[in-house]
Structure 1
Amino acid sequence: MTAPQPTLRINEIFYSLQGETSRIGLPTVFIRLTGCPLRCGYCDTEYAFHEGESMPLSAILEKTKAYGAHYVTVTGGEPLAQKGCIDLLKALCDADYSVSLETSGALDVSKVDVRVSKIVDVKTPGSGEVTKNRWENLQYLTPHDEIKFVLCDVNDYQWAKQQLTEHNLVERCPVIFSPVFSTLEPGDLAEWVLRDHVPVRMQIQLHKYLWGEGRGK
């Protein structure tokens, strides 16, 4: 007897340019899952906390395929808060997409398909959720994964630099420092990174500079 296919609560599925990570600028299908156990002070997707509709896995794959893209990003909210996310990631990889997962790092990533590029967003003190970091996840990161720090101010920057050393992050995978949009001046962060010779990629959110903070972009 065939097992029933997973059903996930989907906030939105849309096609845009990847605005972050090493895939910045690449045409990408975004699958945004509903729900998140965190409440970061700078969250720009609060609408994903509760809004969404239930979709079977087959319907999600069909809608994704219609865009004709090679790159797919599963995001949220916190996508791993839904049990079916693991099945979705595997199905996307099996369909030969290049798949990335945007996760807060607060939930276990050990069961994520090894073909997926995990983008782990380490929460800083300025986020208000620093105690939610699941440092055990670091052991599951490989060179094709990425760690991201979203920085609110100079205190976050100094804290993030400390984590680079304490957890040997640069030796694990690429690391990104990104300023909170409209909060930390990108030029200031750029100067700090250059001044201190920090071995990270400094990045802004491309999509927000192109289209602002509207949904579906």
Structure 2
Amino acid sequence: MNLKVNEIFYSIQGESVYAGLPCVFVRLTGCNLRCSYCDTEYAYDDGTVMTVPQILEKIQNFDCSLVEITGGEPLVQQGTPVLVEDLLASDYQVLMETNGSLNIDRVNRRCSRIMDIKCPSSGEQAMNDPGNLKRLTANDQVKFVIGDHDDFLFAEQMLSLLPASLLPDRVLFSAVSGLLSPDCLARWMLDDRIKARLQVQLHKVIWPDRDRGV
């Protein structure tokens, strides 16, 4: 099984409930959405075709048990479920970032699916798959990327549709970098008693001048 890989690197988890931990990232090529705030446009097309064993061999070199598959959108590639299965079989703790537009149950539920619910300012709200709300488990995470107050109100309304097992620790509110300040988002969350976690993109704090490999 082959996958097109944009980059594989070892860094600090910048997002999710695992923020701050060392992690190996496998960024796959390709995405079916074009969000207004996308910061990984370089992963739309560029990449190298690799077999799953080749990917596993490169991951092993980092001696790290936490692996995140990201993109782009990992689920646009047919080989992603195979990669997840092989990583789980090798006793890795596996995370997968996904934009929420495709069936997340294509991958094993032992993988923690970090699923976006697209807010209006993304321009891709219509692409959210409502069926994914029923596929979420207590092992998953949900992320709202918020660019303005309308996005915040949308995310607030969506909270009632999420499994109670995810609230509050595994639901993430993240401000669009350069568009909405984290302190503004924090104030909205406090004022409305939001039962969710404020997420700051840690990798952008540590390496503000780097776009890749972090």
Gaps spanning 5+ residues in structure 2: where?
Answer: none
Tell me if the contact between 2:26 and 2:70 (Cα under 8 Å) persists in the aligned partners. yes
Which whole-Å CA distance do the structure 2 matches of 1:133 and 1:67 have between them?
A: 35
What is the identity, as a one-letter code, of the residue corresponding to 1:121? D
1:149 is the counterpart of 2:144: yes
Alignment of 1:203-214 (within 5 A): 203-212=199-208, 213-214=210-211
- Identify the match of residue 183 of structure 1 among 158, 168, 179: 179
Which whole-Å CA distance do the structure 1 matches of 2:82 and 2:130 have between them?
A: 24
Alignment of 1:43-192 (within 5 A): 43-165=38-160, 167=161, 169=162, 171-173=164-166, 174-192=170-188
Which whole-Å CA distance do the structure 2 matches of 1:186 and 1:114 have between them?
A: 31
Describe the superposition over 1:21-74 as per-residue Cα deviations: whole angstroms up to 9, x where unpaired: 100000000000000010000000000000001001100000000000010000
Which whole-Å CA distance do the structure 2 matches of 1:202 and 1:135 have between them?
A: 23
Which whole-Å CA distance do the structure 2 matches of 1:29 and 1:102 have between them?
A: 13
1:196 is the counterpart of 2:189: no
Gaps spanning 5+ residues in structure 1: where?
Answer: 1-5
How far the C-alpha of 1:170 sits from its partner, in A, is: 5.2
How far the C-alpha of 1:119 sits from its partner, in A, is: 0.3
Which whole-Å CA distance do the structure 1 matches of 2:124 and 2:52 have between them?
A: 31
Describe the superposition over 1:87-113 as per-residue Cα deviations: whole angstroms up to 9, x where unpaired: 001111111000000000101112211
Which whole-Å CA distance do the structure 1 matches of 2:181 and 2:104 have between them?
A: 32
How far the C-alpha of 1:115 sits from its partner, in A, is: 1.0
Q: CA RMSD in A?
A: 0.8
Tell me if the contact between 2:109 and 2:139 (Cα under 8 Å) persists in the aligned partners. no
Tell me if the contact between 2:136 and 2:163 (Cα under 8 Å) persists in the aligned partners. no
What is the identity, as a one-letter code, of the residue corresponding to 1:123? K
Tell me if the contact between 1:109 and 1:137 (Cα under 8 Å) persists in the aligned partners. yes
How far the C-alpha of 1:172 sits from its partner, in A, is: 4.3
Tell me if the contact between 1:170 and 1:199 (Cα under 8 Å) persists in the aligned partners. no
TM-score, normalised via structure 1 length: 0.95
How far the C-alpha of 1:140 sits from its partner, in A, is: 1.4
Alignment size in residue pairs: 210
